[in-house]
């Protein structure tokens, strides 16, 4: 397996978080009382229990870089998430901020922000 890094996000309830992400195409790869790993193809999210997490003040986030964000957005829209800027959870459409790549965003039921970034627009950067 290639080296990788994964996001570690809070879950007020692991079962509810699994169900939420299940509607977005993720499946449980591992779960016990203290940890959960969800996968959707090569995308991996890991969750830890945080029952006191306040979705309205959460600052947790992760970036997901994909080659076909248009298809992913269409699939996630089918889950029926609200799109207004105050709902939790919510799903935005595409936007671009300055020189940043084209992206859309999803806020999950725990208040964690996932930025879905278009790999085709981002290019590969090698800082090392």
Model pLDDT for residues 19-33, shown as the tens digit of each residue: 999 999 999 999 999
What's the confidence (pLDDT) of residue 122? 62
Spatial separation of the C-alpha atoms in residues 28 and 77, rounded to whole Å: 21
123 — pLDDT class (breaks 50, 70, 90): low
Q: Nearest-CA neighbor of 68 among 41, 39, 88, 91?
A: 41
Per-residue pLDDT averaged across 7-14, rounded?
97
Are 36 and 46 in contact by the 8 Å Cβ rule? The answer is: yes
pLDDT at 125 over 60: no
What's the confidence (pLDDT) of residue 1? 58
Dihedral angle sign, alpha carbons of residues 82, 85, 89, 95:
positive
121 — pLDDT class (breaks 50, 70, 90): confident
Average pLDDT, the chain: 92
């Amino acid at each position: 397996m290639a080296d990788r890094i994964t996001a570690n996000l809070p879950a007020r309830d692991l079962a509810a978080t699994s169900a939420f992400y299940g509607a977005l195409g993720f499946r449980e790869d591992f779960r016990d009382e203290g940890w959960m790993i969800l996968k959707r193809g090569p995308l991996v999210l890991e969750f830890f229990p945080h029952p006191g997490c306040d979705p309205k003040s959460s600052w947790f986030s992760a970036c997901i870089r994909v080659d076909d964000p248009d298809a992913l957005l269409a699939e996630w829209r089918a889950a029926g998430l609200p799109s207004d800027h105050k709902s939790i959870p919510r799903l935005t459409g595409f936007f671009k901020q300055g020189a940043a790549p084209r992206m859309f965003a999803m806020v999950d039921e725990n208040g964690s922000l996932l930025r879905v970034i278009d790999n085709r627009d981002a290019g590969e950067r090698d800082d090392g």
